[in-house]
Each structure stands twice: as structure tokens, then as C-alpha cells.
């Protein structure tokens, strides 16, 4: 894998949002104190195989909706398989989620083949960042910077594509869980991307929670990954937005 200073890339990407026609521009995150921490490390053979599969799908094209993310998105092929087949697949959708990915991994994938070929989606659905919190405890500003860099790269390639940017899903048993608090803080910045580069920001978090803010194991068995019921909640919330974008 090639290396680059992703700390600088991410900061510049979000800085560019300031001139991108945003109604409420986000703050400019500072670069990571160590660029090395933001350089994607080599992943295992399974990760590379899946990445190359996406490159092949991109080269062939033929789908209108692109889901991008980490294990929660890849989980449409597991716990969410039946819901995907019923509600998402008919929209001509592809799943570009890889378990364990942080923002810099998706950025690397985008720069190394996932956006090439005949790929020309009408809608992208992006949900990413919880592994930055869980694996490395990145600051909310750095998570938002990573997402900003991904959005910048994608929009440069597909300037007319509608982007449905989802807030990072809640995790942890209750609202005071430190990892959830960090994700919530990142979401406050991500929300300011709404209206930039054809982005529609949606925060579905409350749909997964009980009235008191707790997260049940019925929705997320490990309080991170979705159950079949959780994927149905996701589909019910996002499919109308996708259909509306496809109809334009």
C-alpha cells in the first residue's frame, strides 16, 4: 500500500468545505499529532480480496445505489441479509462495507480502485467512524475530517450523485458510555456537512434507542452491531430517502 500524510489530507479536505457552499461550515479540525496513526496499515488477505472484489464491481458498474462503511454496513450480508434482499436489493444496490474499516481505510479504497470503471451511482449511503472511536479513540474533529476527505474524494468523481450521510450509529448501553459520547460529538460536526456537495445528513440514532436512551441487545446484541430488527429499522428510515433521490 502506498503511504501518505492522511492527517494533512483530512485537514485540507474539511478546510475546503468552507468554500463549498455550506450554509453552516464546520470547524477546521487540526491534523493528527502523528500522521503515522492515519496511514492505513496493511490489512489481511481477506480485506484485500474484498477490496479487489469492489474494484471489479466498480469496473463493471450496473448499480444505482452504493452503501459504504465498516462492519455495520458489511453486516447487510449477515444479520441484514433478508432485509437487504427485500428492501435494498430491488433498488439496484451494492455493498462496499468492510469490517474493521476506519475513515482512512475507506479513503484509501476510494483512491485505489473502488471508484473507477463504469461505476456511476445515483446515490451513495455512507456511515462510518465508529471504529475510529473504538480502535483508537480519535477525537471527534479527526473523525469528521476523515469523513470530509471521503466525501470530497467521492464528490470530485461523481459531482451529481446524491450523498446520504448517516450519523454514526449509537453504541454502548446508555447515553453516558464514553464511546457513544465521542460518536455523538463527531455527529454534531458531520451534521454541518448537510447541503454541501449534494449531501443530505440523517441521524437515525434515536430510532435504535429506548425512550431513556438505553440501547437494547434486541437491536444491537453487542451494543454495536445490528440485529435483523436493527437492519429493518435502518431500511425503513433510509429507503424512502433513496427512492426520493432516485426519482429526481
Write out the catalytic residue numbers.
71, 222, 225
Tell which residue, 65, 128, 61, has the closest CA to residue 94: 65
Amino acid at each position: 500500500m502506498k503511504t501518505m500524510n492522511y492527517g494533512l489530507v483530512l485537514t485540507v479536505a474539511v478546510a475546503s468545505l468552507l468554500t463549498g457552499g455550506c450554509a453552516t461550515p464546520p470547524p477546521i479540525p487540526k491534523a493528527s499529532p502523528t500522521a503515522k496513526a492515519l496511514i492505513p496499515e496493511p490489512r489481511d488477505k481477506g480485506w484485500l480480496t474484498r477490496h479487489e472484489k469492489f474494484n471489479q464491481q466498480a469496473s463493471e458498474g450496473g448499480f444505482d445505489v452504493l452503501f459504504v462503511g465498516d462492519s455495520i454496513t458489511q453486516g447487510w450480508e449477515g444479520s441484514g441479509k433478508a432485509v437487504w434482499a427485500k428492501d435494498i436489493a430491488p433498488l439496484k444496490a451494492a455493498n462496499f462495507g468492510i469490517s474493521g474499516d476506519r475513515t482512512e481505510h475507506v479513503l484509501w479504497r476510494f483512491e485505489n480502485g473502488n471508484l473507477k470503471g463504469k461505476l456511476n451511482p445515483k446515490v451513495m449511503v455512507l456511515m462510518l467512524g465508529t471504529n475510529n472511536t473504538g480502535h483508537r479513540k480519535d477525537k471527534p474533529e479527526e473523525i469528521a475530517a476523515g469523513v470530509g476527505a471521503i466525501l470530497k474524494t467521492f464528490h470530485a468523481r461523481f459531482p451529481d450523485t446524491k450523498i446520504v450521510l448517516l450519523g454514526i450509529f449509537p453504541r454502548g448501553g446508555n447515553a453516558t458510555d464514553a464511546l457513544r459520547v465521542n460518536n455523538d460529538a463527531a455527529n454534531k460536526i458531520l451534521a454541518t456537512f448537510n447541503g454541501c456537495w449534494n449531501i443530505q445528513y440523517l441521524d437515525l440514532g434515536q430510532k435504535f434507542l429506548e425512550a431513556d436512551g438505553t440501547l437494547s441487545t434486541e437491536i444491537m446484541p453487542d451494543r454495536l452491531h445490528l440485529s435483523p430488527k436493527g437492519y429493518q429499522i435502518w431500511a425503513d428510515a433510509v429507503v424512502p430517502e433513496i427512492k426520493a433521490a432516485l426519482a429526481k
